[in-house]
Each structure stands twice: as C-alpha cells, then as structure tokens.
Structure 1
Amino acid sequence: MNQPREICNFDVAVAFVKRLLELKAEQDAEMQLEVVYHWTREENVATIVENNLRPPGAANADGTAVKVVNGEALGRGIYAATNIEFGRSYGFGLSCAFLCLAVPGIVRAEKRSGHRHRHGHPQGLCEGSDCYRHGEVRVYRRSEHVLPLFFTDASQAARLKACAVEIAEFLISKGLGAKEKETTKAFKVGQTVLALWSGVYWKARIAKVHPGAYDVQWMPPYGSWPLYRTAQDAVRRDG
C-alpha cells in the first residue's frame, strides 16, 4: 500500500467537475487549480481512495463518520499543503502522501477581531469561505474542492505533479478552472536549465512553458530524446 500509484476515483472526479461547474457560475469564486498534498495514517488510505478526503463530521459511503484526528487549529476542514514535505509527520511513518488537484472557490477574509491563534496564525477557515490559505497551508471546507489523483513519495512527486498539471490544463481548456495566480514562468522558452530526471539534474533547454510545469529538450548527447514534461519545482538554473 505504501508505494506510488494512481488512485483517482471516477465518482470523486465527477463530483470535482460538478463543483467546478457550480463555481464557474459564482462571480466571487476563485478558480485557480493547484496541486496540493495530504498526509495521513496508513489505515486511512483505502477509505480516502474510496470516499475522497472528507472533513471531520462528514459521513463515508458506508455510514461511518470522519473523526477529528489531528486537531482543528485552522478550522474544521480538509488540511493540505502545496509542499509535499509539509505535514509529513501526519503520515506516521508512511513515505507516500496523496497528490491532489484543488480549487479554492469562495475565499472570504477573516473579520479582524485582533485575536490570533496561539502559534501566530490567523484563526483560519471562516464562515462563508470554501478555503483558507496561509503560506503553503490549505484548508478546504468541502470534499468536492479536492481531487486525489496519485499516492506518491518525494522521489516521484515531480513526475506525477507534471501529470496533474496536464489534467489541470485539460480542465482549463474546457473552461473549468484557471491558471494559478502566482507566476509560473520563471524560465523562458530557449533558456538553458537543469531538470530533474531519475534523481539527477541534467542540462536541458526550455521548449514550452505550462502552468506549474515545463516541456524540456535534453542537451547533447541526449538531444535526440523526445520532449520531457517536468514540474516547475523540478527545474533549476544552470550555474
């Protein structure tokens, strides 16, 4: 069970797309699709694959209730992060986390009461908001805002993230979602970079820029190899 693999559930994917259609009609909804990661205990993996990530208090298909396992410091919801290393301790020894596509939806600012969480964070997910963001942390109120695609370890995360980006691009091409607000074009077409492949950085040239990913052409003696799609965070400057 603790190995990288594809785990997308058809019914969960349908629910995600339906939610994207609903959000498209909401004037204030944020539609930026992004990749997030969720760590959990081994005994929860099969249930999540079958039922999707669910907030505490929600019911699984078999009628069992989702319990609060790691607290609700930032509100009751589904906790995830844009960095796979964030929250690793919640895997309790697992080497793999869920890699998901996610959409923010309605994001409302907190009422400024002056009160902050004891660790210095704001109070988190507020009433009327679908999502809370703080740095790399995300908290989603509803399951339909998250689509688990893969179960991955750090060594395969960049490759599988690139696959997730392709799925996001397809949804965007159908008008279901938008590119991330953050600039993803740190490198330009034609620029020479170092790209990660099989655990090693190799010299390559940027051939095409995608949201959160690049197509790279390997440099000689591997110049005849086909273009390779890699995640943005698996590319670094040459020199």
Structure 2
Amino acid sequence: MRKPERHAELDRRTRKRLVTRQKISDVATRLFMERGFDGVTIDEIANAADVGRMTVFNHFPRKEDMFFDREDEIRELAFDAVRSRSPGTSPVQALLMLAHTMVEQPSEIFPPFEETRAFVETAQASETLKARARQMRDDFTRDLAALFAGEVGDEGDGSIAYLAAALVTATWSTAFLQAHAALRRTSDSQAVKAIFLAMIDRGAVATLAALRGTALAR
C-alpha cells in the first residue's frame, strides 16, 4: 500500500513544480511586455512572483528561457508531424500541412498572429533575444536534419538532410516575420494569414525542387 502513496506524493510535487514554473513564466512575460526584456531583472521577476532568485534559476537557467518558454512544445509539434505523417507523404509535405493546420486551427502553441504581435516586437527590440532566437533556429535545424536522416535513411554524409532542414527552417522563419511585418502595416489578420501560408507554400515548392531525386522528396 506504500507505492500508491509515494506515486501520489510525486504527482503532487510535480504539479506544484509546474504551477510554480507557470507562475514565474506568466509574471516574467507580463514584465517583459510592459518594460522590454532588457529592462527587467531576475530579482524583479522573483519578487513579483514571490519566489526566491534560485527558484527562478531552477526552472529557467537563463533569462531568455522565460521569454521563449514554449520552444520545446513547438519543436515537438513539428517533429511529431514528421514522425506521424501518412504513408506517401514526405517530411517536407508533412510540415507544409502542419503550417496550414496551425493557421486554420490556432492553439496556445501557435496563437493567431495578432495575439503574438507584442511578443514579436519585444523580441525584435532586444539584441539578447535576437541572438537567442538565432541559436534556437540553428539548434532546431540541426535536430530536424537528424530527424529527417533517421526517417528516410541517412544519405551519404547527411548533407542532404541538413539542406532540407535549413530550407524548411528558413522558410518558416521568413514567413513568420514577414507575416508580422504585414500585420504592422495593415492590421488585417486575414491578409496576414494568406501571406504566411503563401510563403510557406512557395518555400515548400522550392525545397522539394532542391530535394528532387532524393529520399526526402518522396
């Protein structure tokens, strides 16, 4: 009878940890949006969240991690789309379909563009966040290339898989930033969606053309 009690206790600890993490993230996000990322200190976040400085670092090793706190969820969403694709669907096509689904069915992971406007503007106003975004993009490209190679079989030195991952990542990054640039100009949410998907579609066509004759194009 001891084991159920132990597992229940672990579950309570996990829930408490997740609640604390979410509280810190919510407080940090509010402060970042109000004052800019570089204008907020770790101590201010800790005080506002009513936790100790070390508690903040236990949940978020870097200040930037509090800003990009959904990165892992976005990564897994993309990777799952590749892993669970239907027979006859290439990895690039799977990610193309994911883009359309994310825009047509917004979620907490990928909300409507108008809801992320302040987030993007805050990121673009900070050199620290822009540097972190570039690092995350590079890490994502490397890991996506490894996934591509594992899904279709490594071709030679893996350079084709890396090319595919780099083209996909560049397409998504460019489409996202251009969609937000259009949102600032027009405030037309429907037009912004169309711009994003049009760029994703064109990028997919270009990527598949570059991969023609390889396993990743099939």
Query: TM above 0.5, one fold?
Result: no
Greater helix share, structure number: 2
Higher strand proportion: 1
Q: TM-score, normalised by structure 1?
A: 0.26
Tell me the TM-score normalized by structure 2. Answer: 0.28
Which protein has the larger Cα radius of gyration, Structure 1 or Structure 2? 2
